[in-house]
Chain A
């Protein structure tokens, strides 16, 4: 089940990731603590529907489980603490 970028961005922000709005290309950027970036194909802005395949790729990049990113599992304090320690920007 796809997830709206607005909800995905809210989850990632809560986990401490840095979200950058798109420039010319229409891709949003999610940045880890080490500076590496992952592009989000969101050509309809925050209303864009993000497919599961993409969320799985983002899960591998961020180290956050697919269930949490896709909204199937709620964000717990433990998940937030782990993500902030591992990858979130300083």
Chain B
């Protein structure tokens, strides 16, 4: 069994929940996954754990995480507006401080997951190059 690593960079919106005072929402626009926390920083941490679980679960079940639907268009427009009109900051230190009322954040989050590849069939009669062409149908057709 061989192992590989998948790395995803996702856009995240962070904003206070309107119906739950003291709760922050972390919404991953890729994969459309939502998590919560008492502060923006903890919500982002919980979202990271949730995304890792989602991606790993999909890979373990033979599903492609990229097939998951993305967040609705209005959330992407909200991100675009924040990127165009918001203030830029570097690092996640802002997220640890109690933010001013009405503050929202947009950030990117990196998520890694490991993937298992099954061993190739052991057939000594097949030379390595031929086996490689079997893996790539377009290449096999052109030969």
Where the two chains meet, the residues of A that have a C-beta atom closer than 8 Å to any C-beta of B are: 1-2, 25-27, 29, 34-39, 41, 43, 49, 51-54, 57, 60-61
* A52 / chain B contacts, CB cutoff of 8 Å: 17-19
Q: Let me know if A27 and B53 touch, CB within 8 A.
A: yes
* Chain B residues whose C-beta falls within 8 Å of the C-beta of A60 in the assembled complex: 32, 69, 72
5 tightest CB-CB pairs across the interface, nearest first? Answer: A39-B50, A51-B17, A41-B35, A35-B61, A54-B34
Closest to A53 in B: B25
A38 CB contact (under 8 Å) in B20, B25, B33: B33
Say how far B64's CB is from chain A's closest CB, in angstroms.
10
Q: Are A2 and B20 in contact (CB under 8 A)?
A: yes
One of B23, B34, B57, B63 near A57 (C-beta < 8 A) = B34
Encoded as 1 (CB less than 8 Å from any A CB) or 0, chain B from 38 to 62 comes to: 0000000010011001100110011
Chain B contact patch, size range: 20 to 34
A2 CB to nearest B CB, Å: 5
Q: How far is the CA of A61 from the CA of B62 in the complex (A)?
A: 18
SS of A interface (majority):
mixed
Cα–Cα, bound, A35→B61 (Å): 7
- For B19, B58, B61, the residue with the greatest tally of chain A CB atoms inside 10 Å of its CB is B19
For A24, the closest partner residue in chain B by CB is B49
Residues of A within 8 A of B46 (CB): 26-27, 41, 43
Q: How far is the CA of A86 from the CA of B17 in the complex (A)?
A: 30
Interfacial chain B residues near A35, Cβ < 8 Å: 61-63
CB distance from B28 to the nearest CB of A (A): 9
Given contacts A38-B33, A60-B32, contact A53 B49 (CB under 8 A): no
| A36 engages B63 (CB within 8 Å) | yes
Which partner residue on chain B sits nearest A57 by CB separation?
A: B34
Contacts of A43 in B (CB 8 A): 46
* Complex contact B32–A39 (CB within 8 A): no
In Å, the complex CA distance between A33 and B56 comes to 18
